[in-house]
Amino acid sequence: MNYDIKIRGDKNDNGMLEFDRLHLITQSTKEIATKALMLKIRGFSDIKPDHKLKQALAIRLKSLNVSKTEGTSLVLDCDAFEETIKNIPLDMFKPTEELLKLTPMALVIQTFRSALLEGEDKDNLDKPLLKTLLKFKKNFVGDNEVFFFSNRQSITDVEITKNDFKKIEYLEDSIPAAKKIIINGQLDEMKVSKNKLGLVTQDGFVNIFADDNSIIQGIVNFMGKEVTISGMAHFKPNGQLSYIDIQEYYEPGQKDSFYSRKPISMNIEQQQLFQIKEGKKRNPLTAITGKWPGEESYDDLIKMLD
Q: What does the pLDDT look like over 232-278, one tens digit per residue?
A: 988 887 788 888 889 999 888 766 666 666 666 655 455 554 454 54
Pair (42, 167) in one structural domain: yes
Pair (64, 163) in one structural domain: yes
d(CA 282, CA 182): 30
pLDDT tens digits, one per residue of 186-203? 988 655 566 778 888 888
Range of the domain at 220: 179-259
Pair (230, 146) in one structural domain: no
Asked, for residue 31, whether it belongs to a domain, the answer is yes
pLDDT band at residue 124 under the 50/70/90 scheme? confident
Pair (15, 149) in one structural domain: yes
Radius of gyration of the chain (CA): 23
Does the pLDDT of residue 152 top 80, yes or no? no
pLDDT tens digits, one per residue of 21-47? 899 999 999 999 999 999 888 778 888
pLDDT at 297: 57
Q: Label residues 151-172 b or e (16+ Cβ within 10 Å = b).
A: beeebeebebebebbeebeebb
pLDDT band at residue 285 under the 50/70/90 scheme? very low
pLDDT band at residue 50 under the 50/70/90 scheme? confident
d(CA 146, CA 52): 34
Angle at 23 between CA 19 and CA 25, to 5 degrees: 105
**Which among 6-10, 38-42, 82-86, 105-109 has the top mean pLDDT?**
105-109
pTM for this entry? 0.74
Asked, for residue 286, whether it belongs to a domain, the answer is no
Asked, for residue 295, whether it belongs to a domain, the answer is no
φ, ψ dihedrals at 117, nearest 5°: -110, 135
